[in-house]
């Protein structure tokens, strides 16, 4: 059974990674999860400077997932390189750093700060779901031109860039085209879906920031659709599917829609070992269905 896959030029031993922001910046969950057994570990998004994030409460459980408004809290690239990266390496993790910024220059700075550790990273994921302070705080990921500019500006990291896109757009293929044009080697699809919950007693939004991002099982069909549409539009692009994966079959659904690999996020909040269980279930499904190489599932739902 061959579980190996490739995301652009990056070869991975299996197609299951953690999703950014859901297992912390370093080895927070390594007591429960063997990080070296994963395809790769994507860490929580980092900015050039430390950032405190949003006021509490930041998490709210929903019927089939959760809302979060963590607000990209992080220690900054420098502290992460000093403390977290060595700890991840000591656990044998293949590390994907994720970056964000409030301006194109801020992304460029975060990317260039990773240049000195480029050979210790397998890739850099560029999280485009951030407010652009130079465009009335509209998200970079909502604009093709801003997306192209940011992905291009991040080239200073000297690693393959994966563009992580938002599903909160009219036509995700237009944004994906811009990301690829800006130099992205892969598309990571998708970030959270905009949402909100109201606390009836307080008669106010439940989350401290008001709105938040919906994730978990509830958004899996949204992710499947985004992956399917982008695979159809860009047959040769590398795609990482993320959204509501909690089992091997969920992962296979995204692979068949067109993903080369998947990420597991919210499901790890309920059971930190979930990504490893997904790998085991994926392998078992392939054996049972006579699939010798997991790569052969890529895009299977599109027919010939």
Ligand X SMILES: Cc1cc2nc3c(=O)[nH]c(=O)nc-3n(C[C@H](O)[C@H](O)[C@H](O)COP(=O)(O)O)c2cc1C
| Candidate list 5, 20, 30, 274; residue touching ligand X; CB under 6 A | 20
- Binding to ligand X (CB under 6 A) within 84-103 occurs at 98
Q: Give the separation between CA 109 and CA 17, rounded to whole angstroms.
A: 26
| Candidate list 8, 15, 21, 75; residue touching ligand X; CB under 6 A | 21
Count of residues in contact with ligand X, rule CB under 6 A: 25
Could you tell me how many residues make up the chain?
A: 304
Interacting span for ligand X (CB under 6 A) from 68-76, 114-122, 148-156, 199-207:
68-76
Q: Which residue is nearest to ligand X (CB)?
A: 21
Cβ at position 231, least distance to ligand X in Å? 18
Determine if the peptide bond prior to 57 is cis (ω within 30°): yes
SS3 for the chain is CECCEEECCEEECCCEEECCCCCCCCCCCCCCCCHHHCCEEECCCECCCCECCCCCCCEEEECCEEEECCCCCECCHHHHHHHHHHHHHHCCCCEEEEECCCCHHHHHHHHHHCHHHHHHCCEEEEECCCECHHHCCCEHHHCHHHHHHHHHHHHHHCCCEEEEECCCCCCHHHHHHHHHHCCCCEEEECCCEEECCEECCCCEECECCECEEEECHHHHHHHHHHHHHHHHHCCCCEEEEECCCCCHHHHHHHHHHCCCEEEECCHHHHCCCHHHHHHHHHHHHHHHCCCCEHHHHCCHHHCC
Cβ at position 28, least distance to ligand X in Å? 12
Q: Does 72 bind ligand X (CB under 6 A)?
A: yes
- Binding to ligand X (CB under 6 A) within 124-153 occurs at 127
Q: Are 35 and 92 in contact (CB under 8 A)?
A: yes
Q: Does 16 bind ligand X (CB under 6 A)?
A: no
Cβ at position 265, least distance to ligand X in Å? 3
Q: Which is nearer to ligand X, 164 or 291 (CB)?
A: 164
Q: Does 19 bind ligand X (CB under 6 A)?
A: yes
Cβ at position 192, least distance to ligand X in Å? 5
| Candidate list 109, 161, 164, 231; residue touching ligand X; CB under 6 A | 164
Q: Which is nearer to ligand X, 234 or 269 (CB)?
A: 269
Q: Are 54 and 69 in contact (CB under 8 A)?
A: yes
Q: Does 186 bind ligand X (CB under 6 A)?
A: no
Cβ at position 191, least distance to ligand X in Å? 5
Q: Give the separation between CA 265 and CA 191, rounded to whole angstroms.
A: 10
Cβ at position 290, least distance to ligand X in Å? 28
Q: Which is nearer to ligand X, 5 or 129 (CB)?
A: 129
Q: Does 68 bind ligand X (CB under 6 A)?
A: yes
Q: Does 243 bind ligand X (CB under 6 A)?
A: yes
Q: Which is nearer to ligand X, 215 or 247 (CB)?
A: 215
Residues labelled as active-site residues: 130
Binding site for ligand X (CB under 6 A): 19-22, 44-45, 68, 70, 72, 98, 127, 164, 191-192, 215-216, 219, 242-245, 264-267
């Amino acid at each position: 059974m061959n579980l190996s896959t490739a995301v652009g030029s990056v070869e991975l031993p299996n197609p299951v990674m953690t999703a950014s922001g859901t297992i912390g910046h370093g080895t927070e969950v390594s007591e429960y999860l063997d990080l070296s057994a994963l395809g790769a570990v994507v860490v929580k998004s980092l900015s050039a400077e430390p950032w405190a994030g949003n006021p509490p409460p930041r998490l709210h459980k929903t019927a089939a997932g959760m809302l979060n408004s963590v607000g990209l809290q992080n220690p900054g690239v420098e502290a992460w390189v000093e403390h977290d990266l060595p700890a991840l390496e000591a656990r044998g993790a293949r590390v994907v750093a994720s970056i964000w910024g409030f301006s194109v220059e801020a992304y460029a700075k975060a990317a260039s700060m990773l240049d000195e550790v480029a050979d210790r990273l397998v890739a850099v994921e560029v999280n485009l779901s951030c407010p652009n302070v130079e465009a009335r705080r509209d998200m970079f990921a909502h604009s093709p031109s801003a997306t192209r500019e940011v992905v291009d500006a991040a080239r200073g990291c000297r690693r393959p860039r994966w563009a992580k896109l938002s599903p909160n757009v009219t036509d995700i293929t237009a944004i994906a085209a811009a990301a690829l044009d800006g130099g992205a080697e892969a598309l990571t699809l998708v970030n959270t879906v905009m949402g909100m919950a109201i606390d009836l007693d307080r008669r106010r939004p439940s989350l401290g920031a008001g709105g938040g991002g919906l994730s978990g099982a509830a958004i899996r069909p949204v992710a499947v659709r985004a992956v399917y549409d982008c695979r159809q539009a860009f047959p040769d692009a590398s795609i990482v599917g993320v959204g509501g994966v909690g089992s091997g079959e969920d992962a296979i659904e995204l692979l068949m829609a067109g993903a080369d690999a998947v990420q597991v996020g919210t499901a790890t909040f309920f059971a930190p070992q979930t990504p490893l269980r997904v790998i085991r279930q994926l392998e078992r499904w392939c054996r049972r269905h006579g699939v010798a190489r997991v790569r052969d599932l890529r895009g299977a739902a599109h027919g010939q």
